Chain A
Amino acid sequence: MFADLQARLAAVSAPEVERALAAHRVGIDGLIALLSPAADAMLAAMAERSAAITRQRFGSTMQLFAPIYLSNLCQNRCLYCGFSADNRIERRVLTIEQAEDEAAILHDRGFSHILLVAGEAPNRLGVDYLEALALRLRDKFAAVSMEVQPLSTGEYARLFKAGITGVAVYQETYDRGIYASLHPPGPKRDFDFRLATPARAAEAGMREVGIGALLGLADWRAEGVALALHLAGLRQHFWQTAFTVSFPRLRPAVGGFTALAPVSERDLAQLLFAMRLFDHDIGLLLSTREEARFRDGMLGLGPTRYSAGSCTAPGGYGNPALPGEQFAVGDHRSMDEVSAMIRQQGFDPVRKDWDPSFQLAVAQSRQVV
């Protein structure tokens, strides 16, 4: 599929890109045009259009959140990840109390939206743990999302009831061949099970579902098309779910994995603008993987949510010296510093965009699958 896509992308002409830029509604054909090499010459126009749509739909705002890394223990051996079981790093699984302590720090810093992240190790950190933690955190934060191993619909429903409102799960790469080469035998090797995970989360009633590809594994233009197709399919079936797309870009990590298909900042910008033109309502995330200069420049051009002050080592908020991080952060600024930058540029940093009382009502009324 990727080979066909790449051929198609390479064949796009300038007039096609212009048509896509001017289109009232951009379909898959238009998206392909916007992701093509030919569109690079019109990047500034894409930025302008992306900014206009984003402003219309989201206003001059930027949502802020922070991740809490619950553990860096992982049963998978993904070649590109710092948490790979093959890497010798200091492994840590936070107890529920320790996780609560980390959360308290974030709460004091002013965060209201948090993302629970864990390596995939169900035996040590499974649904019972997540459920127990969610119940303790739900009243302290407006929204608690999670990025952990793929779960079943029933498990997602259970966690939704406990207070988790969002699920993020990234396909890593939509190219089956490359996916297979990067994931040695183990649970994560099942491409289709992972692909169907966002649908299971939506089916279970999760308010928000996030998808993405790890940029740098395969040709980013083809990944973009695959992402759009995945998104369109999910939207068709789960019309009541809010969706987001993240753009994690490979960063230096333990294991020394280098990107197979490097993605420049310019490439990332084009991908992000194209997604915005394709879907006016999608949330677009940039994490602290990206450098401050880049994130500052992108403000208002398409992204709607930034993480801030992130620590990717479990327990790292309480103890910043702790090793065992997933990747090296690019933007080291604190929540306050990022907020100040946002305000300085004439935007409103949004710390709270939901309320746990809504979640309680929704969870109680919802039928558990």
Chain B
Amino acid sequence: MLTIAGRTFTSRLIVGTGKFASSAVMQAAIEASGTGMVTVALRRVDLNDPGDDLMAVLDRRQYVFLPNTSGARNAAEAVRLAHLARASGAGDWVKLEVTPDPRTLLPDPVETLKATEALVKDGFIVLPYMNADPILAQHLQAAGAAAIMPLGSLIGTNQGLLTRFQLEIIIEQARVPVVVDAGLGAPSHAAQAMEMGADAVLVNTAIAVAGDPVRMARAFAAAVQAGRDAFESGLGVTAPVAAASSPQSGLGFLR
């Protein structure tokens, strides 16, 4: 069971709610994914056309709403969005996204750490999105992050776990759950992240823009389960060099 900040989830797949063709498709895909938590953004209401209320489409009793601070370009903006999210009735959880570069959408390490410190002080449960930097992961954990969310590759690039060597280190050193987020373009990427020991993955684009989002959501769910099962069964790991069967080193000096 995935446990973050004392809360348990049966699914280790977290799903984003953006980019879907319609709220009906979004709702069906999320249902098919088996997820227990979805990320949502905060935006101004269009008073001329309020439109569908996301909270009416997705049952808050079935899915934990994890507000993200997407749009924030610095710590101050992220903190403000987090407070607005809390005021919107989402509880204390927040996925911290501070992305000043609209082209790469890479998370700003300095501002993310600043915002984490500030929000933890304000009583938030903070899940920061971060580049796969093991040292940054240490600082964020020291600051009180409830989980850390390192990226696999750039958002929307579908390149999978380009950062796998850093992810390995992060996972090995982590004292909080690790949720691999961004760049997971195929179920096999998600399976690989889970096999490496990640606690969960977050997927949005790959499901939302698939030809059949509902089926793709099911595929990701299966991949996450497969990867986790493999990890818990004790994978036979590959050796970097072949282990010599008749080694040369003489131990004749031992008494």
Which B residues are CB-close (under 8 A) to A23?
237, 239
Q: When the two chains form their complex, are residues B249 and A47 in contact, meaning their CB atoms are under 8 A apart? A: yes
Q: When the two chains form their complex, are residues A236 and B173 in contact, meaning their CB atoms are under 8 A apart? A: yes
Question: Nearest Cβ distance between residue B144 and chain A, in whole angstroms?
Answer: 15
Which A residues are CB-close (under 8 A) to B237?
19, 22-25
Residue of B nearest to A236 (CB): B175
Question: Nearest Cβ distance between residue B96 and chain A, in whole angstroms?
Answer: 22
In the bound complex, what is the Cα–Cα distance between A209 and B172 (angstroms)? 21
Which A residues are CB-close (under 8 A) to B233?
none
Which A residues are CB-close (under 8 A) to B238?
22, 24
Q: When the two chains form their complex, are residues B243 and A19 in contact, meaning their CB atoms are under 8 A apart? A: no
Stretch of A79-87, A217-225, A291-299, A349-357 lying at the B interface: A291-299
Q: When the two chains form their complex, are residues B253 and A47 in contact, meaning their CB atoms are under 8 A apart? A: no
Q: When the two chains form their complex, are residues B254 and A266 in contact, meaning their CB atoms are under 8 A apart? A: yes
Question: Nearest Cβ distance between residue B165 and chain A, in whole angstroms?
Answer: 11
Q: When the two chains form their complex, are residues B243 and A45 in contact, meaning their CB atoms are under 8 A apart? A: yes
Which B67-108 residues sit within 8 Å CB-CB of chain A?
A: none
Known: A22-B239, A23-B237. A294 touches B253 (CB 8 A): yes
Known: A22-B237, A236-B175, A239-B173. A51 touches B249 (CB 8 A): yes
In the bound complex, what is the Cα–Cα distance between A237 and B251 (angstroms)? 37
Does B236 make an interface contact (CB < 8 A)?
A: yes
Question: Nearest Cβ distance between residue A25 and chain B, in whole angstroms?
Answer: 7
Which B residues are CB-close (under 8 A) to A269?
251, 254
Which A residues are CB-close (under 8 A) to B51?
none
Does B248 make an interface contact (CB < 8 A)?
A: yes
Which A residues are CB-close (under 8 A) to B225?
none
In the bound complex, what is the Cα–Cα distance between A93 and B173 (angstroms)? 43
Q: When the two chains form their complex, are residues A297 and B234 in contact, meaning their CB atoms are under 8 A apart? A: no
In the bound complex, what is the Cα–Cα distance between A19 and B236 (angstroms)? 7
Does A21 make an interface contact (CB < 8 A)?
A: yes
In the bound complex, what is the Cα–Cα distance between A269 and B252 (angstroms)? 12
Max chain A CB contacts within 10 Å: which of B175, B247, B254?
B254
Max chain A CB contacts within 10 Å: which of B172, B241, B251?
B251
Does B61 make an interface contact (CB < 8 A)?
A: no
Q: When the two chains form their complex, are residues B244 and A48 in contact, meaning their CB atoms are under 8 A apart? A: yes
Residue of A nearest to B242 (CB): A22
Question: Nearest Cβ distance between residue A200 and chain B, in whole angstroms?
Answer: 18
| Contact residue among A19, A296, A297 (Cβ-Cβ distance under 8 Å from B251) | A297
In the bound complex, what is the Cα–Cα distance between A25 and B168 (angstroms)? 10
Does B138 make an interface contact (CB < 8 A)?
A: yes
Question: Nearest Cβ distance between residue A48 and chain B, in whole angstroms?
Answer: 4
Which B218-255 residues sit within 8 Å CB-CB of chain A?
A: 234, 236-241, 243-245, 247-249, 251, 253-255
Which A295-354 residues sit within 8 Å CB-CB of chain B?
A: 296-297, 301
Does A207 make an interface contact (CB < 8 A)?
A: no
Which A40-55 residues sit within 8 Å CB-CB of chain B?
A: 43-45, 47-49, 51-52
Known: A19-B236, A48-B244, A52-B241. A25 touches B172 (CB 8 A): yes
Q: When the two chains form their complex, are residues A48 and B172 in contact, meaning their CB atoms are under 8 A apart? A: no
Residue of B nearest to A264 (CB): B255
Which B residues are CB-close (under 8 A) to A45?
243-245, 247
Does A203 make an interface contact (CB < 8 A)?
A: no
Question: Nearest Cβ distance between residue A20 and chain B, in whole angstroms?
Answer: 10
Question: Nearest Cβ distance between residue B176 and chain A, in whole angstroms?
Answer: 11
Does A29 make an interface contact (CB < 8 A)?
A: yes
Which A residues are CB-close (under 8 A) to B248?
48
| Contact residue among B173, B175, B239, B247 (Cβ-Cβ distance under 8 Å from A48) | B247
In the bound complex, what is the Cα–Cα distance between A43 and B253 (angstroms)? 13
Question: Nearest Cβ distance between residue A336 and chain B, in whole angstroms?
Answer: 22
Which B150-179 residues sit within 8 Å CB-CB of chain A?
A: 172-173, 175
Max chain B CB contacts within 10 Å: which of A48, A294, A301?
A48
Which B residues are CB-close (under 8 A) to A25?
172, 237
Which A residues are CB-close (under 8 A) to B243?
18, 21-22, 45, 49
Max chain A CB contacts within 10 Å: which of B175, B244, B249?
B249
Q: When the two chains form their complex, are residues A44 and B253 in contact, meaning their CB atoms are under 8 A apart? A: no
Type the 1/0 row for B18-44, where 1 means its CB is closer than 8 Å to any CB of A.
000000000000000000000000000
| Contact residue among A21, A24, A237, A296 (Cβ-Cβ distance under 8 Å from B253) | A296
Does A265 make an interface contact (CB < 8 A)?
A: yes
Which B residues are CB-close (under 8 A) to A48?
244, 247-249
Q: When the two chains form their complex, are residues A47 and B173 in contact, meaning their CB atoms are under 8 A apart? A: no
Q: When the two chains form their complex, are residues A47 and B236 in contact, meaning their CB atoms are under 8 A apart? A: no
Residue of B nearest to A293 (CB): B253
In the bound complex, what is the Cα–Cα distance between A228 and B237 (angstroms)? 21
In the bound complex, what is the Cα–Cα distance between A325 and B251 (angstroms)? 32
In the bound complex, what is the Cα–Cα distance between A200 and B168 (angstroms)? 28
Which B residues are CB-close (under 8 A) to A47?
247, 249, 251
Interface residues of B (CB under 8 A from A): 138, 172-173, 175, 234, 236-241, 243-245, 247-249, 251, 253-255
Interface residues of A (CB under 8 A from B): 18-19, 21-25, 29, 43-45, 47-49, 51-52, 235-237, 239, 264-266, 269, 293-294, 296-297, 301
10 additional contacts, CB 8 Å, given A29-B234, A45-B243? A22-B237, A44-B249, A48-B248, A49-B243, A51-B249, A52-B241, A265-B254, A266-B255, A294-B253, A297-B254
14 pairs, A vs B, C-beta closer than 8 Å: A45-B243, A45-B244, A48-B244, A48-B247, A52-B241, A235-B173, A236-B173, A239-B138, A266-B254, A269-B251, A293-B253, A296-B253, A297-B253, A301-B249
